[in-house]
Amino acid sequence: MTKSEKIIKKRYAAETRFRIYGKIAVGIGILTVCFLLYTVFSAGYSAFKSTSVAVDLDLDPNLMRLETSVTSDNIAKADMLNLLRRNLIKIYPEIRKRRERKDLFLMFSSVAPQEIRHWVQKNLESIGTKQRFWLTASSSLDQIYKGNAPRDIEEKSRLLSDLQLNLLDQWNSEGKIRSNFNWYFFRNGDSRSAEIAGIGGAVMGSLLSLLVCFFLSFPIGIATAVYLEEFAPKNRWTEWIEVNINNLAAVPSIIFGLLGLAILLNFFGMPRGTPLVGGTVLSLMTLPTIIIACRSSLKAVPPSIREGAFAMGATPVQVVLHHVLPLAMPGTFTGTIIGLSQALGETAPLLMIGMFAFVVDIPTSPVEPSSSIPVQIYLWAESAERGFVEKTAAAIMAILVFLILMNSLAVYLRNRFERRW
């Protein structure tokens, strides 16, 4: 074998090794992603189910402390908590001690009286009769029933006492416990009670923030890109601007949060912890991504398009607005969606501007206090209650779904409207 043949053989061997290393790296990456997804989904899928307990209640007006006629307005003021507790005492007369009765009451969620109230308001003719209600169970019962918390440990370390555990087994054998789809997770805002805490407020806060971000960053980003690429003279000033735009794309997000805290909140006095401020801060982060994407799309438009438009007598502005920019919009939209996807997952800048408060109500406008999905995940992850563990994982699943949908939309727009020259 000649020397040149040996060299060629070594090159082919090195290329084969490089391909093997690449496949191994790809395999490790896929396995890591699969492991992370399995960890999140295995911990969070149970959050989409809630546990309910059947209770036969005597809808006695005296137990509701109704002193006037039975109307929907009066039912709204009725004492449904007293109704529930008095019925439970009647159903379980053997439970006499105060501590044991407290354990019995704690088997039900704090929202149980409201569930009774809403049903009675829709069925006023049921007053004075006995009805079966499926009431939401407490988080402790819910976690034990789902198997998310151990039950074969000593009582002081367990979520449920011995009495509560016996009641759970009794209700389960009598068919008085069932699992339902957890609508509270999607309809409610944050709550101190894990069983009724939801991402409704966080989703609305993120949506409003993204809308503010889009309506601020998209037109400004396109206008900046068009000016720099089509009209700006090539001098040191424009080169300095271009360098800084590229550098802003790599600035840590918390810096933008500090900017929002110092300028938007302290100087301009904008409302703290609102989607208006959050969206404005996120738009500052998204602007460099949109500008860079739009400029790249403008560069990709062939010069023949411009030359043909000029030959037909179009002005420079008409050439850009009527011919060049429409052809560059698919790439611009792709960059915009990717920038918004990045903004959706940001936490640090929103923490700096106060979007981490405990907000129960779902916001209806950008100037109302709210949270966001990443911040809600952060707050739940800091909670010590076992019920919030599955909520955290379920919220991560929700934000992953949003990100997949947004990136799928970006891919669709690129493939649907992209033109190859």
| Tokens, residue 250 | 């790599």
| Beta carbons of 359 and 201 less than 8 angstroms apart | yes
For residue 381, give Cα distances in angstroms to 106, 149, 376, 394, 417.
24, 17, 8, 11, 41
pLDDT at 214 (0 to 100): 93
| Tokens, residue 66 | 């109704």
Q: Measured between alpha carbons, how far is 209 from 139 in angstroms, rounded to an integer?
A: 31
Radius of gyration of the chain (CA): 30
For residue 403, give Cα distances in angstroms to 295, 345, 397.
24, 8, 10
Task: Return the amino acid letter for 263.
Answer: I
Q: Measured between alpha carbons, how far is 134 from 94 in angstroms, rounded to an integer?
A: 23
Instruction: Give which of 413, 383, 376, 402 is closest to 200, Cα–Cα.
Output: 376
Residue 320 is classified by DSSP as I
- Tell me, rounded to whole angstroms, the distance of Cα 334 from its chain centroid: 22
Instruction: Give which of 85, 377, 380, 329 is closest to 203, Cα–Cα.
Output: 377
Instruction: Give which of 213, 224, 199, 201 is closest to 338, Cα–Cα.
Output: 213
Averages of pLDDT over each 10 residues, the chain, 421 residues: 79 90 95 92 91 93 81 85 93 91 93 93 89 93 91 88 92 93 91 90 92 93 91 87 86 88 88 91 91 90 88 88 88 88 88 82 88 90 85 92 84 73 59
Query: If you classify domain 200-417 with CATH, what class do you get?
Result: mainly alpha
pLDDT at 386 (0 to 100): 82
Q: Measured between alpha carbons, how far is 161 from 155 in angstroms, rounded to an integer?
A: 6
Stated length of the chain: 421
For residue 147, give Cα distances in angstroms to 105, 159, 172, 183.
22, 12, 14, 21
Domain ranges of the chain: 3-45, 49-182, 200-417
pLDDT at 146 (0 to 100): 92
pLDDT at 247 (0 to 100): 86
Instruction: Give which of 1, 115, 123 is closest to 55, Cα–Cα.
Output: 115
Q: How many CB atoms lie within 10 A of CB 82?
A: 14
| Beta carbons of 127 and 371 less than 8 angstroms apart | no
| Beta carbons of 373 and 356 less than 8 angstroms apart | no
Q: How is the beta sheet containing 49-58 ordered, strand by strand? A: 130-136, 49-58, 177-181
Say whether 257 sits in a helix, a strand or coil: helix
Stated pTM of the model: 0.86
pLDDT at 1 (0 to 100): 67
Q: Measured between alpha carbons, how far is 327 from 323 in angstroms, rounded to an integer?
A: 7
Strand partners, 248: none
